[in-house]
Structure 1
Amino acid sequence: MFSNFIVAVSAVIPIFVLIGVGLFVKHAKLMTPTELKHMNSMVFKVFFFCMMFSNIYRANFEDGFDPSLVVFGMASVTALFLASVAFSLWFEKDNPKRGTMTQAIFRSNFVILGIPIVVNIFGEEAAVIPTMMIAAIVPLYNIYAVLELESFRGGKFELVPILIRVLKNPMIDGIILGALCRFLPFPIPDPILKPIAQIGASTTPVALIILGASFEKGGIADSRRDLWACTIARLIVVPAIMLAAGAALGFRDAEFVTLIAIFATPCAVASYAMAQQMGGDAPLAGNCVVFTSALSAFTMFGWIFVTKTMGLF
């Protein structure tokens, strides 16, 4: 039992220490909001590209990555999206809030937290599993988020522009280019590959620090009911259902922990920007990110500890 407790602590504490460093950066005013915005853009466009490229190019796919995990992940995200829409329609009458609630429930912070959770438990060699899942899940997150936000604000959903925007995503570009470079008749020279790998290795700590430094407080008086509904759904109800389904289908070890990273992590940071830009309730979206991120320090530890005790990894 104690060893399971140590595994859970080892998986969660490093993540929130780095977020805490970001909170200190914000409190000490070491970066201006403009500098944070530029830094966040650089992390997204450069660091994530290098991390995805390096993970895919150097991955050993002979270790037994199961394609059925991708199928299950995509099907589960789709089902979760539809269930989130149905719940929002039943629970809330205001369309901007409906759009924000839907996104808060189905879209997790898997992109930033997924790889560190798996790597903290299984080591760098297991990073290929969440990396491949990012390639499958990120396009769905983007397409479904735009679909529901446009629908709730009465806009027109245009698939082709969305797909083009997805293909311009630096994470997707890094995965595609890394996969293509594996087919080159010669290896990438080490003086080129090494700095790319070094940038990729620094992605997670820098992204988590920027995440902590970017947190904003907002009033919750007008949306307390919706906020707690989203928080409970995101951190408790969704992982309970999805992890039970994954366990029943036989996913174990790093694959199962990847499912924890997809379904038990807090609301995606990107959901705030999208709600702001597409007519959603931006204050509610921001509060969902802040509250689920803070409470996930306890709920993610709980899910990891319980499922480790059950022998699922």
Structure 2
Amino acid sequence: MSSAGVLLGAVAPVALIVATGWLAARALRLDRGPLTRLTLFVLVPILVFDQLWRTPGGLSYGLRLAAAFALASAGFTLVGWLAGRLLNLPQPTRASLTATTAFPNTGNMGLSVAYFALGDAGLERATIIFVVATVLLFSFGPALFKGGSLLEQLKMTLRLPLIWAVVLGLAANAVNLQLPLNLGGGLHMMAQGAIPMLLLSLGMQIAETRFTVSAYDLFASLLRILVGPVIAFFAGRLLGLDGADLVVLILISGMPAAVNTYLMAAELGGDAPRTARVVVLSTLLSFLSLPLVLGLARWAAGVS
């Protein structure tokens, strides 16, 4: 399959679900608030628990890859924060810029593109990154948007169901938990509903705001999809990654802004309209940038 076909297969379903949310909001005049809270506080924690529970070997598998992504994420966050400071943006917008730069879409975009690019080996590595990215996003994302003292941030973060989903997921994986009566199947079914619900809520947010691409939107989108892979390359080399590990690290770091950044901005106090536009615009632009990122990643890692 060609690079264009791979990316079209990853982006088209995302666009379909977002468009459905947009159409539903326009036609049915739905209240987005309950949907946002249901997704953030119920479905996303179940998704994380399910992913951690089912990941072979937990986070011990691919430890260097996980550490490299964590290091790269620190670089993403620093770049986004510095850009917001240099541009003298208001606090909500600065938090949103930091978040969209720091957190790539490692789930529905990252997993699918890595699979089609490198097969099962790509999917295994992308799953490790997805788990680490999810933990980082929901550990530090709420504190980033909410602000306050370190103690207040810690208390607020610990109140999120997601943190406890991480703990329980790791524990379930460690003891090889087996649930009776196919309850695991029920959890997995709910977990699969998290990403569509995220995208539907994004479409509803877009329907509520006038979508115009500003210089900020373009800058934030390019910061996410172009600067991320460069930082990831150096982080991967610093920790001695090569081959498929380095390719997937760079590729995932070039993904568009995570849909969850919009969800947090809407729920916890960021610039939700701008965040929504950056998520959409960076997703559209990634159709053009990801073939280049993939080619350069293969060249840098020496993978044919």
Q: 1:173 to 1:312 in 2, by over 3 A?
A: farther
Select the residue among 206, 210, 217 that pairs with 1:215. Answer: 206
Aligned to 1:177: 168
Gaps of 5+ in 2: none
Gaps of 5+ in 1: 151-156
Aligned to 2:132: 133
Cα distance in 1 for partners of 2:261, 2:134 equals: 18
Tell me, what secondary structure is at the counterpart of 1:33? coil
Matches within 5 A, 1:181-200: 181-184=172-175, 187-200=178-191
**How much does 1:23 deviate?**
0.2
Select the residue among 39, 43, 52 that pairs with 2:35. Answer: 39
Aligned to 1:17: 13
Q: Is the 8 A contact 1:104 1:234 kept in 2?
A: yes
Aligned to 2:150: 159
* TM superposition score normalised by structure 2: 0.75
Q: 1:209 to 1:234 in 2, by over 3 A?
A: same
The one-letter amino acid of 1:298's match is L
Range that drifts further, 11-20 or 189-198: 11-20
**How much does 1:64 deviate?**
7.2
> What root-mean-square deviation, in Å, do the aligned CA atoms of Structure 1 and Structure 2 show?
3.8
Is 1:79 the counterpart of 2:79? The answer is no
Aligned to 1:290: 280
Q: Is the 8 A contact 1:135 1:172 kept in 2?
A: no
Range that drifts further, 157-166 or 268-277: 268-277
Cα distance in 2 for partners of 1:192, 1:208 equals: 26
Q: 1:51 to 1:139 in 2, by over 3 A?
A: closer
**How much does 1:278 deviate?**
6.9
**How much does 1:258 deviate?**
4.9
**How much does 1:132 deviate?**
3.0
Aligned to 1:153: none
Q: 1:174 to 1:312 in 2, by over 3 A?
A: farther
Q: Is the 8 A contact 1:16 1:297 kept in 2?
A: no
Cα distance in 2 for partners of 1:65, 1:252 equals: 16
- Deviation string, structure 1 residues 88-111 (Cα, Å, up to 9, x no partner): 322346555444433333333335
**How much does 1:235 deviate?**
1.6
Is 1:242 the counterpart of 2:232? The answer is yes
Cα distance in 1 for partners of 2:132, 2:44 equals: 15
The one-letter amino acid of 2:29's match is T
Aligned to 1:229: 219
Q: 1:264 to 1:170 in 2, by over 3 A?
A: farther
Identity value in percent: 17
Cα distance in 1 for partners of 2:175, 2:55 equals: 15
Q: Is the 8 A contact 2:244 2:303 kept in 1?
A: yes
Cα distance in 2 for partners of 1:308, 1:164 equals: 43
Q: 1:38 to 1:275 in 2, by over 3 A?
A: closer
Q: Is the 8 A contact 1:15 1:116 kept in 2?
A: no
Cα distance in 2 for partners of 1:111, 1:184 equals: 25
